[in-house]
Every structure is written in C-alpha cells, then in structure tokens.
Amino acid sequence: MPEKALKHGLRKAILAATASLLALSWGQCLAQSKGKTSAETAAAAAQLADIFSKIGDQLYEECIFELSPEQIMVQQALIQAYVDKGASSTVARQLAVKQIQPPKLSSSCEQLRQKPGELPAEWDTTLSASPPAVPKKKPRAMAKTKAAPKRQPNAPGPVVALKDKEVLPRWDCAPHVDYVTVNINGFKRKLTGGEICNKFKDVVSKVPESAGSFRLGYTISTGRLFVEAEDSNANGQTIAWAISGRDVCRNNPDPDCLAARSVGSLPPGEYSFPANKNRRITWGPLTKRNVAAIYLRKLWSKDRFTPAQRKAVLRRGNIAIHMRLKGEMSEACIGLEPKGWAYVAALIKEGRATGVNVYLDEPHPKIAEAPPVIEGSSFSLTSLFK
C-alpha cells in the first residue's frame, strides 16, 4: 500500500477512535440534557464539535504512534540484511519488527486515554481554530512562454568528501559482539539487535541546585553533555551522554563531517534557545517527538575550516536537542537516550539551562570520564536459523 494512502487511513482511524472517546463526554451531555431545550442541547453539541476541531490535528501529530522515517529505513534494511545472512523472510520480518518499535505514549495522550472527558492542560482550545485571513493577491498576467517543469527533489546521498571515511574506532562494534551491516542512504551502519553498536548507557547525573542557571556544554569527540557554570563545584560536571552525526560522522569533529548536511555532527560554537521560554520545548512534526531547538550564534574554530567548509557549516539548520529512538543516529543534532532527554528537557523548560556551548574536543580533560558505551549485546546471529 502506498505510504500516503497508509498514513491517510491511519489518520482516519485515529481520529475516529478519538471521536469515540469524545463521544463519552457527549453521552454525558445527553444524559444531563433531559429537561433542557433543543437549543441548549444543540449548543452543547456545537461546543463539543468545536473542541474536536481544535485538537484534531494535534491529536494526529502527538498521538500517532508510528516509526520515524529513519526507523522505517532501518527496519527495512534489517529485513534485507537478515535474509542475506540466511534467515527466512518470515523470521527476518519478525525480528526487525520486534527490534524496531514505535515510542511509548506521551503523557498528553495517556491523560486523554485515561480521562477522555478532560483535555490535557497544554492542549489549549481557547485559540481560534481558523488561520488568519490572508489578503488575496491580484492575478498575474499569463506569460506567453511555457512554464518550466518542476524539479523533482533529489534523494539524499553520501557527500563526496565522506566517501572514503570510516566510523571512528571508538564507536565500532566490540570484537565479541554479533552484528549485521545495513545500508542507509549510501552509508554502511552496523547494528546489533536493531541498535547501533556501542550505544551509550542511559545514565544521568543531576545538576546541584547551587549551580543556579548555567549553560550546557557538549563535546563532539566524546558525546559528553556537561555543566558550564560559575559554580566551581558544578562546572564541567557530566549530565548525560549523547550522539551527534550519522554513521561515519557520528561524534566526529572532522571538518568534512561538520560541513556535511544531514550527515555531520553539529558545528562547534555558541548556541541559544528561543527567546520565548514557553517555546523552548516544542513538538517536531517531522521528528514525531518533542525537541529543543538551538540556534548557532557564533561559530568557533573557524581556522579549522576551508572557506567552502565554513560556508557549508553556516548553511546548516534544523539543529536541536531531542530523544534518540532505537536504531536512529542523529542529523546535526544532540540525540539523547530517554532518561537523559527527560532530565535535560526539564532543565531547559525550567530555565536553568540557558544555552549551549559546543566544543570539538574535551575542554575539561581532568574531570571528564570515559563515555559509558555498551560493549555487549544479547543479539546472536544463530537466532536467525531457529
């Protein structure tokens, strides 16, 4: 089934299910409407319809539990990799589906599911559901020449400068770990049990209250996220560990990687959050999860880049901090594990974390510990032939 038709059908199913939940509230309205006039009953129905129209799209965006685009690619690539290793198509599909799954329900969706008569507080229905009117433009005169055909978007592919690069040894699979190699957008990726090799352990160290407000620090070469504060006891302290960049550019400070759009890790420099504190954690419709957008204000280590690389770095956008789902890597962002993301998002939302500084190499070598990478795996290639 075409992906567009599948999503359309899924959207209808979700909205229909939501309508049935809201119908519970409507049933309560009917039960309480005995003795009321038809006008009052109609007003109650209109109110319910108005609420549904205002949250319908947001329900679809936040309560649709599908895989991310990258997870879909990984899942399909896993099936082919398992078949190539000798597994039957049935076993290959079962393994890939089991290993790559959608994220859990968000708290907003859980609240709606458990209490369908009450809307989550963050789903504000007081705003107008209709977009502001846009003044109509006067029609232009028809040109005599034929319009040029629309250009078809090109599928993303490997950057020429990255063709001969390999994953840094520190992020490769441990010698005793079984893995399969998949191809994602022209790059090879080693996966063990559906997860990338040497994934970070999801450990979090809380920032002491004495630190007050502070900036987040991130080291590209190690993936360490830490505190940058005036408090000497907290300055440099590790908070969590993350991934930035895909495949050969995973946590790779190589200038070619930093200049590679959609592949490289995020550039070094000074970043800020949106000025509006209420908009620092927002829903990313493309990533299908909450994100904290960050904006590059000052590029550091300019002398490490050629003029062409510097220009490419400054053209990169859509940089954020977000949770990394199983099988995924990162696209110029800081991808955290679930516990790490939950804690860091809270620091940003509360206003304790005020910005981000990104370094090529470790600025606190005396207190920085080694990354807590996962060396083992329960995945075994022999399971393919059972």
User: What confidence score (pLDDT) does residue 30 get?
Assistant: 33
**Which pTM does this prediction carry?**
0.73
User: What confidence score (pLDDT) does residue 155 get?
Assistant: 44
Q: Give pairs for 103-112: CB < 8 Å, separation 24+.
A: 103/65, 103/288, 103/289, 103/323, 103/325, 105/63, 105/65, 106/62, 106/63, 106/290, 108/62, 108/63, 109/62, 109/63, 112/18, 112/21, 112/59, 112/63
How confident is the model over 178-224, as pLDDT tens digits? 999 999 988 999 999 999 999 999 999 999 999 999 999 999 999 99
- Residue 285 contacts residue 61 (beta carbons within 8 Å): yes
- 3-class DSSP state for residue 26? helix
Q: What is the pLDDT along the chain (386 residues), one digit of tens a residue?
A: 454 554 555 455 544 554 444 443 333 333 333 455 566 656 665 665 555 555 555 554 556 567 888 999 999 999 999 999 999 999 999 999 999 987 776 666 666 555 544 444 443 333 323 333 334 444 444 444 444 444 444 444 444 578 788 899 999 999 889 999 999 988 999 999 999 999 999 999 999 999 999 999 999 999 999 999 999 999 999 999 999 999 999 999 999 999 998 899 999 999 999 999 888 999 877 777 889 999 999 999 999 999 999 999 988 877 999 999 999 998 889 999 999 999 999 999 999 999 999 999 999 999 999 999 998 888 998 877 76
Contacts of 377 (CB under 8 A, 6+ apart): 177, 178, 179, 192, 193, 195
Q: How do strand 320-323 and strand 187-192 relate by DSSP bridges? A: unpaired
Sign of the C-alpha dihedral, residues 295, 261, 330, 61? Answer: positive
User: What confidence score (pLDDT) does residue 53 get?
Assistant: 52
User: What confidence score (pLDDT) does residue 90 get?
Assistant: 93
Calculate the alpha carbon distances from 255 to 187, 268, 295, 305, 330 in Å.
18, 10, 19, 6, 17
For the chain, give every domain's residue range: 3-32+40-67+86-114, 200-359
Q: Cα angle at 319 between 317 and 320, to 5 degrees? A: 155
- Residue 225 contacts residue 344 (beta carbons within 8 Å): yes
User: What confidence score (pLDDT) does residue 262 get?
Assistant: 85
CATH code assigned to 200-359: 2.40.440.10
